[in-house]
A and B are shown apart, each in its own frame.
Chain A
Amino acid sequence: MNYRNNIFIAVNLMVLFLVGCDAATSDTGSTTLTLNLNAQVNGKPLSTDPGTTFDVNGTLISFESVRMYISEITLINSNGDPVSILGDGLTVPAKNEDDEDISHTVQDHIVLVKQDAGIDSYDLGTWPAGKYEKIHFKIGIAGTNNRIDPSQVPAGHPLAKQTDYNNHWNWNAGYLYLRIDGKVDTDGDAVPDDEWAVHLGTERFLRQVMVTHDLILEADQPGILDLSIDYGEFLRNVDLSDPDQRICHTMNNLPVANAVANQISSAFSISTDRKRTGGSTSADG
């Protein structure tokens, strides 16, 4: 009897061992992941100091607000399996697609990037330890998460109505996925004197970013993802010397909205100056 029990235990242990030996994603631990976002404008460090100007397509501009939403973060492990995590869960009033009142729980871990506030590091949540090869995320807020009532989101949550720079259209339901603006030099005196703004939103301009990158997360060892973002890349196909291209609140200027949205994926890359793990530096759209 004891012999048969020992065999049974040994077989079970072997099964457990084999299951636990998934090299891609460990189920034996987890760790926090922090995104370090190295902000640049055509290779020059981003600054929102009004006196700091950047040459974008031959036009001098300065930046004032620099914000965007990152959502639906997914890591692809070495088996090619997607791994995602849930946020804290926020239940708020929302509208469904038929504009009926509903209660909706935001499960996604959403990040509001505020680089105009000098914040370069963002908490991406707690992830299973393991080896990952790709990172996917979206710039913007998708589906019902974009139809919640921001007035009822507790202060401090990324989706709460911000009190400095507007993050949600009052007159047009939905979040500003990408908000970059500032001043542009219109008279050639090297001093920005008129406003420019790209405030991008609505579902049609939601874009996914895919970054190929080896990322090893070890249990209880805080992980860091270093990415570079080049805000000049967003404006690559926008001519801010043209008054008709200076102001885009999305629906009022579809050509500029399209031009910026189509550059989103190429604006991201692996941060080469602070890279901590090996891997390619390509970003896929």
Chain B
Amino acid sequence: MEMSAHNCRLVFVVLAVSGCAPPDSTSEEQLRPVVPGGFDSVPVPVHNPLTRNKVLLGQQLFFDPILSLDSTVSCATCHRPDAFFADGKAVSRGVGGRPGTRNTPSLLNIAYHQLFFWDGGSITLEHQVFGPLQNPAEMALDLASVLQRLESIPTYREAFEELFDEAPSLRGLTQALGAYQRTLLSGGARYDRYKAGDQTALSPAETRGYKLFKGKAGCLHCHHGFLLTSLRFENNGIAISKEDSGRARVTGLKEDYGKFKVPSLRNVAQTAPYMHNGGMATLSEVIDHYDQGGREVRGKSPLIQPLGLKEEEQADLEAFLHALTDTTVLAGIEGP
């Protein structure tokens, strides 16, 4: 059920023409995404300004399975628009159905992240493209083949020439994919209406859940700001496999063992299963994990302590998490 770039219309992002002169060499006018209320402006790197045609090229590449070894897997295979740019599986599945080791994170609002992947092992949105492209358990295609395939398709060849003034290149590929992903924004949940002053946006149970979220449950320590994440790396008391040491794999620091990036809670009710390994199937399981104070594992954050939540409080908290769903994200998507 692959969506093609041509019949997938993502209209939830409005791109506005900026008055600023574009810093790149293209003659296209620079665009800036119109962000949801309460959000910061989207950080757009100087070296990769957003232009309409670059975003469209990135969108086409995002949905194109030719970027995988057997031409069956695209970025959108694991980052499905109809699944809030996640995939609903415990761990991702790549070419030949090969299982990955981690849960696919949603790409919504990815533009605001500073480091990428669960362990922060990639430093820019452009740079992270190399990970899934080459990973044997994802798209499994070597970079030389990627360029050869793009070169062999006239529309891509022409688009790269027009946009980057060169034949298909890794720089152009990563810039286009980065530009497209910076337009994937989500901030239209009932929670946002409530924050904007609409007291009727949340039900009584959700309102109680929000109070718990900020108070007794302590969620706000790690899930704050308009993204509902600190974007920091924390050990939240999950049993860690020997094969995946988390942030420590990047830093080499013992104190980073078992730490993973705190995910955004936006649309969390729609992006099960949970945790870096997809090991928890439901929100109630997640809430129960934190209520118990996590497992006693090495390096667990001191923030993870038993909460003593009553059954009805757990229900209220879960109700609030459902209020973080942005149903408007789906409004503009047409299926294949």
Residues of A within 8 A of B (CB): 92-95, 99-101, 103, 147, 149-155, 160-164, 166, 168-173, 202, 251
Contact = CB atoms under 8 A, between A and B. Distances in A.
Nearest to A202: B252
22 contacts: A93-B45, A99-B114, A99-B120, A100-B114, A101-B43, A101-B114, A103-B47, A147-B123, A149-B127, A151-B124, A151-B126, A151-B170, A151-B171, A151-B174, A154-B171, A155-B171, A161-B170, A163-B144, A163-B170, A170-B121, A171-B250, A251-B252
7 nearest A-B pairs in the assembled complex, by CB-CB distance: A163-B144, A151-B174, A171-B121, A163-B143, A170-B131, A151-B126, A170-B130
B169 interface: yes
A222 to B, nearest CB: 31
Nearest to B115: A99
Nearest to B119: A171
Contacts of A202: 252
Given A151-B129, A151-B130, A173 B123 contact: yes
B134 interface: yes
A163 B171 contact: no
Contacts of A94: 123
A181 to B, nearest CB: 16
A100 B134 CA distance: 26
B147 interface: yes
B122 interface: yes
Contact of B170 (A99, A100, A155, A172): A155
A103 B46 contact: yes
B63 interface: no
B117 interface: yes
A178 B250 CA distance: 18
A71 B122 CA distance: 23
B227 to A, nearest CB: 16
Contacts of B130: 151, 161, 168, 170
Contact of B117 (A95, A164, A171): A171
Nearest to B43: A101
B52 interface: no
Contacts of A160: 170
B127 A150 contact: yes
Contacts of A172: 121, 249-250
Given A152-B47, A251-B249, A251-B252, A170 B122 contact: yes
Nearest to B135: A170
B142 interface: yes
Contacts of B126: 93, 149, 151-152
B122 to A, nearest CB: 7
Contact of B143 (A92, A95, A161, A169): A161
Contacts of A93: 45-47, 124, 126
Nearest to B129: A151
Given A94-B123, A101-B114, 9 more contacts: A151-B124, A151-B127, A152-B47, A155-B171, A166-B134, A170-B130, A170-B134, A171-B122, A173-B121
A149 B249 contact: no
B169 A155 contact: yes
Interface in B243-279: 249-250, 252
Contacts of A173: 121-123, 250
Contacts of A150: 127
B256 to A, nearest CB: 11
A171 B131 contact: yes
A177 to B, nearest CB: 15
Contacts of A166: 134
A163 to B, nearest CB: 4
Interface string B169-204: 111001100000000000000000000000000000
A186 to B, nearest CB: 23
B152 to A, nearest CB: 15
A261 to B, nearest CB: 14
A103 B47 CA distance: 9
Contact of A149 (B117, B123, B142): B123
Nearest to A161: B170
A149 B174 CA distance: 11
Contacts of A101: 43, 45, 114, 124
Contacts of B128: 170
